[in-house]
Amino acid sequence: MSRTVLITGATGTVSTALMNALRGAEVDLRALVRDGSAADGPRERGAEVFAGDLGDARSLPPAFEGVRDLWLLTPNGPRAPENAMNAVWAARQAGVERVVRLSVVGAAHDAPNRSGRLHALSDREIERCGMRWTILRPHWFMQNLLNEAGDIAATGTFSLNMASARIGMIDVRDVAECAARVLLDDPDRHHGETYTLTGPRSLTFDEVAGELGLALGRPVTYLPVGDEAKRRTLLGHGVPEWIADMLEEYARAYASGWGDFTTDTLAGLLGRPPRDIAGFARDHAPAFIPARDG
C-alpha cells in the first residue's frame, strides 16, 4: 500500500522541487496550503490539496489524518518554531510515522543569525518528537540568485552585501532529491540523522557572475554593496524588516567566512556529485535575459 506524504510549504521553492522529485514514485501526495484557490502547482503535481495554516493549530487535523510521512518546511519568520510545533503536534495526534524536516545550514543555539537559532529550536523538538525523524540542513540556495534576475537582465550587474564571501551553495533541485530519497527509503534508514547538504564547490560571487556570464553569452558583474544600501533596496521592494535584518545577519556571517565549506553528504545520499553552478546557470538562463531577447 502506498504511503501518504503530507507536503508543507507546498507552493514554495523547495517543496515544489520536492513534488517534482517525487513524480512517478509510489506515494500519495497531499499538500497543505493556506489558500486552496492558489494551489495549481501542487494539483498539477498530483497532490490532493488541503487548506491549513501552520500558525493556526485548529486548522491542521484534517490534512494530517491518514498521513504516514510529513515533509515539514516552515517559512522564515519569528513564528517559525510555533509553526513547526503546531505541525509536530498535529502529526503526533494523527499517528504520523516519520518527519523529514527542512532546517538550515549551521542551525545552532549559537548561530550568528536568528534564522539559524530559530531552526535550532525546531530541530531540538524534532529530535524528541517520538516519531522517526531526519533533518536536512542545506546551504545557501543557488535559486536565491533568481532574486537578482531582474537587475542582471536590465543592467548585467547584481548587488549583494556579501563582500568576497565564499559559499558552498546548493541547487534546490538537489535538496529536493535528497528529501525524496529519504522519504522513499525505509523509515528506519535515515532515522536520527541530520544531513548538512552543500553544492560541489565553495564560490565567490565574482565566480558566480562569471558562470552566469558564460551561460548568458554576455558579461555579468557582481557589485559588492554595504549593508545599509542592500537594506534600503530590500525594504524598497517590500521585504519585511524582520527578513531584511535576518538577511543582513547571514550576509555578515558569510562575509566573515562562515559559509566557506562543502560536504560530501549529498553524494553519499544520491550516489552522484551535486549539481554545479554552471548547470544552474544554463538551466535558468532565460530568467536572467531581458524579455525581448528571451
Where does residue 77 fall: left (phi above 0), alpha (psi -120 to 50 degrees), or beta otherwise?
Answer: left
# residues contacting ligand NAP (CB under 6 A): 26
Q: Which of residues 253-292 bind ligand NAP (CB under 6 A)?
A: none
Q: Which of residues 149-188 bind ligand NAP (CB under 6 A)?
A: none
Neighbouring C-beta atoms of residue 195, cutoff 10 Å: 21
> Exactly one of 36, 61, 75, 268 binds ligand NAP (CB under 6 A); which one?
75
Instruction: Please identify, using beta-carbon distances, which residue of 184 and 243 lies nearer to ligand NAP.
Output: 243
Q: Does 74 bind ligand NAP (CB under 6 A)?
A: yes
Nearest-CA neighbor of 140 among 251, 288, 12?
251
Cα dihedral across residues 206, 211, 214, 219: positive or negative: negative
Distance of alpha carbon 19 from alpha carbon 183, whole angstroms: 11
Instruction: Please identify, using beta-carbon distances, which residue of 108 and 155 lies nearer to ligand NAP.
Output: 108
> Exactly one of 64, 133, 140, 288 binds ligand NAP (CB under 6 A); which one?
140
For residues 89, 91, 96, 97, the Cα torsion angle rounded to the nearest 10 degrees is -60
> Exactly one of 64, 71, 141, 205 binds ligand NAP (CB under 6 A); which one?
141
> Exactly one of 46, 51, 66, 76 binds ligand NAP (CB under 6 A); which one?
76
Q: Which of residues 82-111 bind ligand NAP (CB under 6 A)?
A: 83, 102, 104-105
Q: Which of residues 13-72 bind ligand NAP (CB under 6 A)?
A: 13-15, 33-35, 53-55
Q: Does 112 bind ligand NAP (CB under 6 A)?
A: no
Instruction: Please identify, using beta-carbon distances, which residue of 155 and 256 lies nearer to ligand NAP.
Output: 256
Q: Does 138 bind ligand NAP (CB under 6 A)?
A: yes
> Exactly one of 49, 60, 73, 215 binds ligand NAP (CB under 6 A); which one?
73
Instruction: Please identify, using beta-carbon distances, which residue of 46 and 55 lies nearer to ligand NAP.
Output: 55
Question: Euclidean distance between the first and final Cα of the chain, in Å?
Answer: 45
**Cell numbers for 243:** 527578513
Q: How far is the CB of 218 from ligand NAP (least distance, A)?
A: 26
Q: How far is the CB of 144 from ligand NAP (least distance, A)?
A: 5
* C-beta contacts of 163-166 below 8 A and 24+ residues apart: 163/224, 163/255, 164/204, 164/206, 164/224, 164/255, 165/204, 165/205, 165/251, 165/254, 165/255, 165/257, 165/259, 165/260, 166/202, 166/203, 166/204, 166/257, 166/259, 166/260
**Cell numbers for 112:** 550568528
**One-letter identity of residue 44:** E
> Exactly one of 4, 85, 111, 115 binds ligand NAP (CB under 6 A); which one?
115
Chain residues binding ligand NAP by CB under 6 A are 9-15, 33-35, 53-55, 73-76, 83, 102, 104-105, 115, 138, 140-141, 144
